[in-house]
Amino acid sequence: MSDGLRYLSGSEVIAAMPPIAERLALAERTMTALVSDAELPSKIGVHPRPDGSFAHAMPALLRPTDTGTADPTATAHDLLGIKWVTGFGDNQALGLPAINALVIVNDPATGMPTAILHGGSITAQRTAAVSGVAIARFAPARARRAAIIGAGAQGHSHLEVLGHLIPDVELVVHDRHPERAAALAEAARAIPGIAAAQAAGTAREAAAGADVVITAASFTSPDRRGALTGEWLTSDALVVAVDYATLVAASVAREAALFLTDERGQFLANRDAGQFDGYPDPGATLGEAILAGMTRPPEGRVLVSHLGVGLADIVFADAIVRSAEAAGLGTVLPR
């Protein structure tokens, strides 16, 4: 354990971020650990003014049981930490980020804090990597076309995942702000593996004909809630919802051949709070599906709603801190 407390800024987190293949492995490890090796509550939250704002505490503990694995992302030691994230939709009018987060890592043997990391980049990349786990296992065979609805940070973070997992993917993007959609399409054209990218005028146009649809709409879009129905989708589409039920209608979940979520307890708690009214119980968690060797059904759509768990932030933070220490990145603060 270091004698100080290492702080990593946003740019330092990005510099120490593992490459795409390792990020996907970290995400899969997180999903399977949630089945039996992790302890975490549903998000603990308060709701400050203005209306629609939130502040969530996301503590997590990992107790790995398979220490004999050859997986290079695995660690034999416990992981302990917390993510503190706030969302203030009105910040955009002030020129400030709507979502802000810090991740704190603790020594699991003593509880001493060992690192503080800027959380925005971790959130973006771990979320996209969990989407990648779903895409790798449940995208239709010979998938070629993908859609991203929402051109914010999550839209951008999913580009590399799509280019890595769907060779020569043709991407269509939409955002309620056309200039943001155009910027995302332009950024996509520079990503290896993306053959073409264009912006669509509506979300429905973006989803039309897509094999994989990623919804990353702003939580502050109540007018669009539940707008995406089965009429928008191909008969065997994979829908990956990272915006809770902001865009995807409950009927899509009810009609799906397979409905998965990242963590059952959190999904049920959010449904009890009204976030997922009308949604059925998930058929399995993503981790359960992986451990059971599940593949996509021969017919029908698959919906994966992942709400984001603090364990993913801690697993990613552990890898980032180890990389940063080796590279001499960060500022070591006295305790």
- pLDDT tens for each residue of 190-204: 999 999 999 999 999
Residue-averaged pLDDT of the chain: 93
Q: Give every CB contact of residue 95 below 8 A, 6+ residues apart in sequence.
A: none
Residues pairing with 228 in the sheet? 248
Residues pairing with 284 in the sheet? 260
The single-letter code of the amino acid at 288 is E
pLDDT of residue 221: 60
Burial of 78 (0-12, 13-18, 19+ CB in 10 A): middle
First-to-final CA distance of the chain? 13
Rounded Cα distance, 197 and 236, in Å: 22
CA 38 vs. chain centroid, Å, equals 18
pLDDT of residue 67: 43
pTM of the model: 0.94
> Per-residue pLDDT for 296 more than 50?
yes
Question: Residue 236: pLDDT band by 50, 70, 90 thresholds?
Answer: very high
- pLDDT tens for each residue of 152-200: 999 999 999 999 999 999 999 999 999 999 999 999 999 999 999 999 9
> Per-residue pLDDT for 248 more than 90?
yes
Question: Residue 70: pLDDT band by 50, 70, 90 thresholds?
Answer: very low
